[in-house]
Amino acid sequence: LKDLVAAAPRNLDLRMLLARSYYYTAQLSLAEAELHQVLRAEPAHPSAHLALARVLERQHRCSEAAPHMRVADTMTARDLLALRHPRNSSPRLVG
């Protein structure tokens, strides 16, 4: 995967796959570096925020992970609302 990312550095899907492989093989600093690259290219990438939060939590850096987890949660909630309420109707929040 490293060679593929080197050949296509702007391919964020490949970078995410590489980051996940680093995460699952406990190469956390490499996973973190790849995820930062993804977020530099696409700051609103919810999966990258979630993955980075998990990497940081696994390194016991929970205070650094928290903002990324909040961003991922917010983006996911917004996306779910958009799916349930098309643009021509406004979502109603029940409280």
Given CATH 1.25.40.10, say whether it is the number of domain 2-67: yes
Burial (CB count within 10 angstroms: exposed 0-12, middle 13-18, buried 19+), residue 1: middle
**Would you state the pLDDT for residue 75?**
78
pTM score > 0.85 for this model? no
For 9, residues 6+ apart whose C-beta sits below 8 A from its C-beta are 15
The mean per-residue pLDDT over the stretch 7-27 comes to: 95
CB 5 within 8 A of CB 11: yes
Q: Tokens 């390194």 belong to which residue?
A: 59
Q: Tokens 């205070």 belong to which residue?
A: 63
pLDDT in tens, 39-54: 999 998 989 999 999 9
Is the model's pLDDT at 27 over the cut of 60?
A: yes
The ranges assigned to domains in the chain are: 2-67
Query: CA 6, 9, 13, 16 torsion: positive or negative?
Result: positive
**Would you state the pLDDT for residue 72?**
86
Q: What does the block give as tokens for 1?
A: 């995967």
What type of residue sits at position 77? A
CA angle 49, 50, 53 (to 5 degrees): 85
